[in-house]
Structure 1
Amino acid sequence: MDFEAAKDVCRTFPGCTEDIKWDHDIVFSVGGKMFAATNASSPAEGISFKAEDDRFLELTDRPGIIPAPYLARAKWVHVNGEASLDDAEAAALLRRSYELVFAKLTRKLQREINEAA
């Protein structure tokens, strides 16, 4: 999946916001909590997102997927161009990242996001 397709997938999630953080990263968030990020100046380098605890090691054992710099302790992975992810699997992983972050939001905020969607 290329970066433009990944951005399109992220933008379909209810309550998703997109902004620039740290002067050079495009960050996708829900409820103020980020669920995906990439370098704005060179998005072809890949995208980072949260993974389930039990899938983190499985994913990072695959070529082209590494523990995300600075975020690996929170079970984030970085997928680069060498990864053999098809579009459906990449979209499912991004969706799951969104769901993991959304689940940690307060019930009130979850309800507000769902009502606005």
Structure 2
Amino acid sequence: MTVEDIRSIALKLPHTTEDIKWGSDLCFCIAEKMFCVTSMEGDCKISIKVEVAEFEELCQRQGFTPAPYMARNKWVLIDESARFSKQELEAFIKKSYELVKSKLSKKIQEKLAK
């Protein structure tokens, strides 16, 4: 999985924007709320939001660690993206997108639905 693959997956999701933060991190957002972060340098690692109930389980699996600075908000770092198929990573990114989208205010959700 490359940064371009991640970018392609994320930008297919409605209302997604991208931004570079912290110097070299490519962030994908919906309504200015991040749902996926990847580094543009080095290995292709992906940080995503997960459900509270999944967080501990995923952090015990090989290839996942609590995401630096974001773990308290139930984000995991997929530090071995090559272990997963493109379809699996796409599912993780889409689920993160849906989780973040579901936490947006009703007003913003209604605006996005138009």
Instruction: Please give the TM-score of this superposition, normalised by the length of structure 1.
Output: 0.88
CA contact (8 A) 1:37 1:48 kept: yes
Structure 1: segments with no counterpart, 5+ residues = none
Q: CA RMSD in A?
A: 1.5
Instruction: Please give the TM-score of this superposition, normalised by the length of structure 2.
Output: 0.90
Structure 2: segments with no counterpart, 5+ residues = none
Give the Cα–Cα distance (whole angstroms) in 2 for the partners of residues 69 and 102 of structure 1.
22
Give the Cα–Cα distance (whole angstroms) in 1 for the partners of residues 82 and 51 of structure 2.
18
Deviations 1:41-89 (A, max 9, x none): 23x2401010111111221111121110111111100012366222222
How many residues were matched structurally?
114
Using the TM superposition, give the Cα deviation of residue 16 of structure 1 relative to its aligned residue in structure 2, in angstroms.
0.5
The residue correspondences of 1:42-57 to structure 2 (distance < 5 A) are 42=42, 44-57=43-56
Q: What residue in structure 1 maps to residue 26 of structure 2? A: 26
> After TM superposition, what 4+ stretches of structure 1 lie above 4 angstroms from structure 2?
none
Give the Cα–Cα distance (whole angstroms) in 1 for the partners of residues 5 and 81 of structure 2.
16
Q: What residue in structure 1 maps to residue 37 of structure 2? A: 37
Q: What residue in structure 2 maps to residue 87 of structure 1? A: 86
Using the aligned pairs only, state the percent identity: 39
CA contact (8 A) 1:17 1:29 kept: yes
